[in-house]
A and B are shown apart, each in its own frame.
Chain A
Amino acid sequence: MTPQRKSSLVLAILTAGFAVLAFSFARVPARPGAIVRQPIIAQDALAIVPGTVRISAAQLVASGGDASGLSCYSCHHQDSPPEIKMGPDNRIVLPKEHLDLIISMRNCTECHPANDPVKIDYDADGNVLVTKGHEGLFAMAHGRNSRNNNCYNCHDRDQLDQLHTPDGEKLKFSQATLLCASCHGPTYRDWNAGAHGRTGGYWNRDSGPIRREECTSCHDPHAPAFTGLIPMPGPHLLHPLPRPPAPPASENHEP
């Protein structure tokens, strides 16, 4: 075999080898094909979960339009949501008609003028008899077993939009936190220290202000206990988690 023929043969074998390589690369993909990805969570999942934070429109404006915890669907229908206008800084612009709206809190003086005070009747146990038409207007459930259901424990007898502490100190609606503090001392102490209640803004006071909520921002004073929340979607588990075995139903293994 001449050297020429030999080199040609080597070149031909190499060419065939690379051609096979190219063919195999073309046929067998180097990586698996693109996975078709279905969205696991609806993108508007955050929007449909009603929150517990009840804030007045004035507080909403003061917070810069942070409506993240607001229960809009107590009035608006979920299937036909209102058109939301966004400001230049991507925050919701509140319509004018909402400026005086108190959300989830009823203001008695909206209907009852101050010069025509409401007459309230009580049953034998001292609980307020809710007149017809007012059922469901305010769910009075303050205190364990609803023992703080007397309006005048907190409201002034002659002027319902005036508050007073058990000591007789007169307070305005805007000072409601001090009224709460007159009974809930330890909670007020924790709140003052920042350990109770929702916080936002800046932890570093040199960088900016901390954002705090008043008592009535989160708690309805007439029914302060939280009513419950719809939990947001949980983790998408590829495999079911192992559950602890169910305890035997009939036998009693107590020592």
Chain B
Amino acid sequence: MNPEETDNGISRRSFLRTSAVLSAGVAAVAAGLAPLRKLGQFSSVDEFLQKYYKELTPAEMKGVLTRIEDEVQRQYGIRPHVRDYKPMNGVEFVYALNLTRCVGCRKCVHACVAENNQSRNPEIQYIRVLKMPNDGTFDVDKSEHDYAPKSVPVPGSFFMPVQCHQCRNPPCVKVCPVKATWQEPDGITVVDYNWCIGCRYCEAACPYFARRFNFTSPSIPASQLNLNMSYLGNRPRYKGVMEKCHFCIQRTRAGRYPACVEVCPTGSRKFGNVLDPNSEVSYILKNKRVLVLKAELGTLPRFFYYFDV
């Protein structure tokens, strides 16, 4: 019997060689997979296993909100208040915009960016103000997005801000393959940023150019973060998810006006509960000349344009 061989028939040399090769292999595997640790700062087991929004129990929702607060605190160094505002009974939100009064100052655009924690760079804006020629055609193909005159309003033009129309027959909801976007009982079409897979079908389906996609991680200065956040609303978005105007869900479901309404210096923007006959939107729908954009598509928007005089 060879003295170098043990009882199992493995020599000391072969054992050492095998173990050296094995440990080198393990080290190489670990080194090879190391970059995976950096993938997705936010992805956690809890997030991966999170249930569908409508199936979450209140206790589970509380855990989800705490997790999101943790995530935001880790990324921005400030702890926000993330809440899940529920729709109110007997409330259906409607928006009305006065085309006679709007001067196109774009204050609504930037108030919306600040309120809803939209990415500053790359720039994401929910509201697009169109400068339309006042030639009676009402043709959006002739509109200008990037007007920059010294002063607005401009003679011969009128301005038409376009944002999510919160349709009663929303094409974006129909095309979503994972039901990550849906219409709430109070009329707001919302997006669950944890459920969205980023296929962008809804962006293609929307006839109003209302949906925005996060092609990269949004960047917001921590000092400009709005800490009053809601799950379906203005919490920071992830890379690769869709977002859109949600009528400032964190404000309107708490009874307040959206940020764009509050900031409008000409009072062109009106908002309220259409089921309340005394609300200003009910008055406008009853008494003003009202139109909807692209009415022929049958999307039945909750966003109305109207005229004075």
Give residues in A with beta carbon < 8 Å to B. 4, 7-8, 11-12, 14-15, 18-19, 21-22, 25-26, 29-31, 35, 37-41, 43, 45-46, 49, 51-53, 68-69, 190, 193-204, 206-208, 213, 218, 226, 228-237, 241, 244
Say which one of B29-37, B60-68, B194-202 lies at the interface with A.
Answer: B29-37
Whether the Cβ atoms of A203 and B267 lie closer than 8 Å is no
Some 23 contacts from A to B, beta carbons below 8 A apart, are A8-B14, A11-B18, A11-B22, A18-B29, A25-B32, A30-B35, A37-B219, A38-B121, A45-B110, A193-B283, A195-B96, A195-B280, A198-B267, A199-B262, A199-B280, A201-B257, A204-B256, A213-B267, A226-B266, A233-B110, A235-B123, A236-B123, A244-B142
Whether the Cβ atoms of B18 and A203 lie closer than 8 Å is no
Whether the Cβ atoms of A22 and B28 lie closer than 8 Å is yes
B252 proximal to A (CB < 8 A): yes
Minimum CB–CB distance from A197 to chain B (whole Å) comes to 4
Partner of B273, one of A14, A41, A198, A203: A203
Q: Which residues of chain B come closer than 8 Å to A229, judged between CB atoms? A: 103, 105, 151-152, 265
Q: Which residues of chain A come closer than 8 Å to B36, judged between CB atoms? A: 30
Partner of B221, one of A14, A29, A43, A45: A43
Q: Which residues of chain A come closer than 8 Å to B54, judged between CB atoms? A: none
Whether the Cβ atoms of A21 and B32 lie closer than 8 Å is yes
Whether the Cβ atoms of A51 and B265 lie closer than 8 Å is yes
B264 proximal to A (CB < 8 A): yes
Q: Which residues of chain B come closer than 8 Å to A40, judged between CB atoms? A: 120-121, 123
Q: Which 3 residue pairs spanning A and B have beta carbons closest together?
A: A207-B255, A194-B280, A204-B255
> Known pairs A30-B39, A43-B224, A200-B262. 11 more at Cβ < 8 A?
A8-B17, A25-B35, A45-B110, A51-B265, A195-B98, A195-B287, A199-B261, A218-B267, A231-B149, A236-B123, A237-B146
- Name the residue in A49, A203, A232 with the highest tally of chain B Cβ atoms < 10 Å from its Cβ: A203
Whether the Cβ atoms of A7 and B267 lie closer than 8 Å is no
Whether the Cβ atoms of B148 and A231 lie closer than 8 Å is yes
Q: Which residues of chain A come closer than 8 Å to B14, judged between CB atoms? A: 4, 8
Q: Which residues of chain B come closer than 8 Å to A208, judged between CB atoms? A: 255-256
- Name the residue in B25, B221, B273 with the highest tally of chain A Cβ atoms < 10 Å from its Cβ: B25
In Å, the complex CA distance between A94 and B203 comes to: 46
Q: Which residues of chain B come closer than 8 Å to A49, judged between CB atoms? A: 105, 107
In Å, the complex CA distance between A251 and B65 comes to: 65
Minimum CB–CB distance from A5 to chain B (whole Å) comes to 9
B77-113 at interface with A (beta carbon < 8 Å): 88, 96, 98, 103-107, 109-110
In Å, the complex CA distance between A226 and B139 comes to: 27
Which single residue of chain B is at the shortest CB-CB distance from A69?
B265
In Å, the complex CA distance between A79 and B31 comes to: 56
In Å, the complex CA distance between A106 and B109 comes to: 33
Which single residue of chain B is at the shortest CB-CB distance from A210?
B257
A-B contact count (CB 8 A): 180
Q: Which residues of chain B come closer than 8 Å to A200, judged between CB atoms? A: 257, 261-262
Q: Which residues of chain A come closer than 8 Å to B107, judged between CB atoms? A: 49, 232
Whether the Cβ atoms of B267 and A196 lie closer than 8 Å is yes
Q: Contacts A37-B219, A195-B280, A203-B272 hold; do A231 and B267 have CB atoms under 8 A apart?
A: no
Q: Which residues of chain B come closer than 8 Å to A201, judged between CB atoms? A: 256-257, 262
In Å, the complex CA distance between A42 and B287 comes to: 42
What class of interface size applies to chain B in its complex with A?
Answer: 35 or more
Q: Which residues of chain B come closer than 8 Å to A228, judged between CB atoms? A: 103, 151-153
Whether the Cβ atoms of A198 and B264 lie closer than 8 Å is yes
Q: Contacts A7-B18, A237-B145 hold; do A199 and B257 have CB atoms under 8 A apart?
A: yes
In Å, the complex CA distance between A198 and B153 comes to: 18
Minimum CB–CB distance from B189 to chain A (whole Å) comes to 19
Whether the Cβ atoms of B141 and A244 lie closer than 8 Å is yes
Which single residue of chain B is at the shortest CB-CB distance from A35?
B216
In Å, the complex CA distance between A207 and B257 comes to: 11
In Å, the complex CA distance between A11 and B266 comes to: 76
Whether the Cβ atoms of B110 and A232 lie closer than 8 Å is yes
Whether the Cβ atoms of A8 and B25 lie closer than 8 Å is no
Q: Which residues of chain A come closer than 8 Å to B144, judged between CB atoms? A: 241
Q: Contacts A18-B29, A228-B151 hold; do A39 and B121 have CB atoms under 8 A apart?
A: yes
Partner of B104, one of A29, A190, A231: A231
Whether the Cβ atoms of B265 and A198 lie closer than 8 Å is yes
In Å, the complex CA distance between A248 and B293 comes to: 30
Partner of A15, one of B28, B35, B153: B28
B56 proximal to A (CB < 8 A): no
In Å, the complex CA distance between A203 and B252 comes to: 8
B44 proximal to A (CB < 8 A): no
In Å, the complex CA distance between A196 and B269 comes to: 9
Q: Contacts A15-B25, A21-B32, A203-B257 hold; do A230 and B280 have CB atoms under 8 A apart?
A: no
